[in-house]
Amino acid sequence: MDFTDDPLVIECFLHLPSLAVQDTNPTDYQWILDKQNETDKIVFCRQKFPDRYFNKVLDDKEIICYVVPSDNRNTQWKFALTNSMIWPTCHWFHVMLGHPGSCHMRATLQAQYHHPHLLTHLECFACDVCQ
């Protein structure tokens, strides 16, 4: 029996809160690519700092990623966030992780994403539900 055959399981899913983040998915390569393509600034970063920013092909999409120069770019890379991606990414993870505290948010985002001012944005991040 598939778990979706159980009406109680379906009932649980029906009562999940609706998300105001439906157009955003920072784990979706196409969303990341579309957002990165909205600005030339990240291409500029890749050209100016080729030891830090590089293209990585993920599901046939060339995504700009970041690595600390002394780290292994095959295993220690992160998605490079543009300015317009920071808030939606913070908000999406905050909701999806069930409104965690700032330490959990910071650890999760820093493990997978890079922006020079990510920490500053996280310190200023405020959630209407958690207030």
For Zn ion, the binding residues (CB under 5 A) are 99, 127, 129-130
Please, where are the H alpha helices in 16-130?
A: 29-37, 41-48, 83-96, 102-112, 118-124
Task: Kindly state the smallest distance separating residue 112's Cβ from Zn ion, in Å.
Answer: 19
Minimum Å gap between C-beta 56 and Zn ion is 31
Residue closer to Zn ion by CB (options 8, 103) is 103
For tokens 């808030």, the residue is: 87
Output the CA–CA distances (angstroms, integers) from residue 25 to 10, 35, 105, 107, in the order listed. 23, 11, 16, 18
Cβ atoms of residues 115 and 81 within 8 Å = yes
Q: Which is nearer to Zn ion, 99 or 117 (CB)?
A: 99
Nearest to 51 by CA among 67, 75, 63: 67
The residue among 10 and 127 lying less far from Zn ion, judged by its C-beta, is 127
CB nearest Zn ion: which residue? Answer: 127
Min dist. Cβ of residue 98 to Zn ion (A):
8
**CB 130 to Zn ion: min, Å:** 3
